[in-house]
Amino acid sequence: MNDEALKQAINGLQINSVSLFATHCSIADQFFPAYDPLAENLQIQSKHLISRTEQIDFEDDEGQTVRVIRFHADFGTRLMLPSEGDLEQKALIEATFVAEYEVTDVGLSEEAIKEFAIRNVMFNVWPYWREYLTSTCSRMQLPKIQVPFFKKPQNEGLHECSDAAED
């Protein structure tokens, strides 16, 4: 961990938005969670990671160049039931959120961006995932899932920041 790089990123990035980018959810055929007494025995498997970053430069209304960095945060929860010594997937909820930050320090290092992704982006996005997962479980009539407080992303590394085409 590089605290100086993180401090540089915190000072050089300003959050613009967090938005839902993609989602998928499903329930296994012939599984009716509202009526199945085994639904109480569902085991939860989860994932969360930063899958991609992209840097975008564009001109604002005044003709000034604005740079934003978009971090793609992938989340997933599988609900599994024990079946014949194995686990059988009964429900799946996945989502990708994009956290977008304006770059206020053009000298921001790649190391600072990586450190920020690992240590701060998930902290900003986590409440959106918690709300999405909770409301989706309710809509799917799945048992309530107690989502823990934020945890460090599963991936320690991060893909290099890629430059997207200018708008």
Residue 154's pLDDT is 52
- Residues composing the chain: 167
CB proximity list for 4: less than 8 A, separation 6 or greater: none
> Which CATH number describes the domain made up of 3-145?
3.10.420.10
Residue 8, token pair as written in the block? 């540089």
Residue 147's pLDDT is 81
> How far apart are the C-alpha atoms of 114 and 69, rounded to whole Å?
11
Residue 106's pLDDT is 86
What are the boundaries of each domain within the chain? 3-145
Residue 25's pLDDT is 97
**pLDDT tens by residue, the chain, 167 residues:** 788 999 999 999 999 999 999 999 999 999 999 999 989 899 999 999 999 999 999 998 899 889 999 999 999 999 999 888 899 999 999 999 999 999 999 889 999 999 999 889 999 999 999 999 999 999 999 998 888 776 555 544 444 444 444 43
> How far apart are the C-alpha atoms of 75 and 46, rounded to whole Å?
7
Residue 166's pLDDT is 41
SS (H, E, C) the chain: CCHHHHHHHHHHEEEEEEEEEEEEEEECCCCCCCCCHHHHHCEEEEEEEEEEEEEEEEECCCCCEEEEEEEEEEEEEEEEEEECCEEEEEEEEEEEEEEEEEECCCCCCHHHHHHHHHHHHHHHHHHHHHHHHHHHHHHCCCCCCCCCCCCCCCCCCCCCCEECCCC
**Given its phi and psi angles, is residue 131 left (phi above 0), alpha (psi -120 to 50 degrees) or beta?**
alpha
